[in-house]
Amino acid sequence: MAQVSETTNGIPQIFASIITIGDELLIGQVVDTNSAWMAQELNKAGIWLRRRVAVGDNREEIIQALNEESRYASIILITGGLGPTADDITKPVLCEYFNGKLVIDEGALANVESIFARLNRPMIERNRKQAEVPDTCTVIPNKRGTAPGMWFERDGKVFVSMPGVPHEMKGMMTNYVIPKLQGHFTFPFIDHRTLLTAGIGESFIAEKIIEWESVLPSNLKLAYLPNYGMVRLRITGSDTDSGRLQAVLDAQFGQLKLLVKEWMITDEDMPIPQVVGKLLKEKNATLSTAESCTGGYIAHLITSVAGSSEYFKGSVISYANEVKEQVLGVSHEALVSKGAVSEETVRQMVQGAMSVLKTDYAVATSGIMGPDGGSEEKPVGTVWIAAASSGQTIAECFHFRYDRSRNIEMAAIYALNMVRKLIASA
């Protein structure tokens, strides 16, 4: 792997580090989705995230993390621990760390007051205290909540504290932190090219592209990202000259695409529901789903894409057999003689979706997700998936070996890929 160097044509690489504060992260009550989002935004701005650290609501550990991360990075982004309750200690700790004293910020106070007025809730002292900030920081306005953000500088390094509430943090990052960082430092350009493959393992791809990979320019870097039985390949490059970076990325990406074209699903960085949506828009066609074991998850993935109402008409989630029969028109005979998890049933389900929801394409699932409900003949993880167009219906049986939630995810992604193939081949 070609490691991106620490300088790009003489511009020193600026590193960032994220410190996430909160006991909830250390007992696993919350999955940290903030860091991934922040990493993406930093990257787009040409800032390389070097480390991410999570620590508890504990003074010593927060100070330790601040000391340590400022050795590794010039930009330290801190989230969490700014709530109004006693377990939230980030603000007093930062105040101490940056030798300040807490003072009411009038702008932040007006913001808290206007939020309480809008919600028509009485304000108590604890809420008023949310508007306190160390006098050694620059206040970052929070348009989406009561806790203000804080910007500190020391020894050429920038420390930014933001709330852990995702939409509040995102508003601050987009509207304030990223623009202000861009004014403060000089960044090289960082960009990516990503493609998605299906039907080939990571190690086989590596063999196919070994010669190409071995002579990749030193400012480019390749990553293999396997997930849901597919492999995403990502080239990342950095350069001080944006045009030159785009040119070298395009050239290398063009070669890579040729090498893996047999397995390539898309050459854009988009998840499979978006790939399906793009195809449907191109063909001016509509889609529906009939879901048993996936329980609406396929519909959810499809409708997570903005603008999906252009091509997605709806679904029948037929968890109970009587819904399969009475709404989708699956024959009683198929359900009794072949069972709900069978090729016959899933083919009738997909036909039912096409006719009840009146779409050009449909996809249907029926399976056993676990932990219970399996049998010797049909063990947990057995899933029948069918996809249909007006002229063709295909069905296939899969055997997933994971836990319930992963089985649901896998079945949904495989179902989307099956209908994708059908649409792409039309």
Residues 54 to 93 in contact with its own copies, rule: CB under 8 A: 54-58, 61, 65, 68, 83-87, 89
215 binds its own copies (CB under 8 A): no
Q: What is the DSSP letter of 3?
A: P
Choose between 27 and 215: whose C-beta lies nearer to its own copies.
Answer: 27
341 binds its own copies (CB under 8 A): no
Taking CB under 8 A as the criterion, the residue among 79, 90, 219, 318 binding its own copies is 318
Choose between 99 and 316: whose C-beta lies nearer to its own copies.
Answer: 316
Least distance from its own copies to the Cβ atom of residue 53, Å: 5
**Distance, first Cα to last Cα, the chain:** 39
Taking CB under 8 A as the criterion, the residue among 102, 320, 336, 424 binding its own copies is 320
Which has the closest alpha carbon to 369: 290, 289, 292? 292
406 binds its own copies (CB under 8 A): yes
Give the separation between CA 343 and CA 396, rounded to whole angstroms: 8
Least distance from its own copies to the Cβ atom of residue 155, Å: 20
CB 363 within 8 A of CB 301: no
Give the separation between CA 250 and CA 132, rounded to whole angstroms: 50
206 binds its own copies (CB under 8 A): yes
Residue 265 vs residues 271, 273, 286: alpha-carbon distances, Å: 10, 12, 20
306 binds its own copies (CB under 8 A): yes
Choose between 85 and 425: whose C-beta lies nearer to its own copies.
Answer: 85
Find the binding residues for its own copies in span 104-163 (CB under 8 A).
Answer: 121, 124, 126-127, 144
Least distance from its own copies to the Cβ atom of residue 221, Å: 8
Choose between 141 and 153: whose C-beta lies nearer to its own copies.
Answer: 141
Taking CB under 8 A as the criterion, the residue among 136, 141, 153, 170 binding its own copies is 170
Give the separation between CA 350 and CA 338, rounded to whole angstroms: 16
Stretch touching its own copies by CB under 8 A, among 48-56, 238-246, 277-285, 344-352:
48-56
Give the separation between CA 362 and CA 287, rounded to whole angstroms: 5
Within 80-155, strands assigned E span 102-104, 132-134, 138-140, 149-154
222 binds its own copies (CB under 8 A): yes
CB 324 within 8 A of CB 292: yes
404 binds its own copies (CB under 8 A): yes
Say if strands 157-162 and 75-79 run parallel, antiparallel, or are unpaired: parallel
Give the separation between CA 191 and CA 269, rounded to whole angstroms: 12
254 binds its own copies (CB under 8 A): no
296 binds its own copies (CB under 8 A): yes
Within 24-112, strands assigned E span 48-55, 75-79, 102-104
Find the binding residues for its own copies in span 357-386 (CB under 8 A).
Answer: 357-358, 370-373
217 binds its own copies (CB under 8 A): no
Number of residues that bind its own copies (CB under 8 A): 112
Interior/surface letters 203-233, b for 16+ CB within 10 angstroms, e for the rest: eebeebbeeebeebeebbbbeeeeebebbbb
291 binds its own copies (CB under 8 A): yes
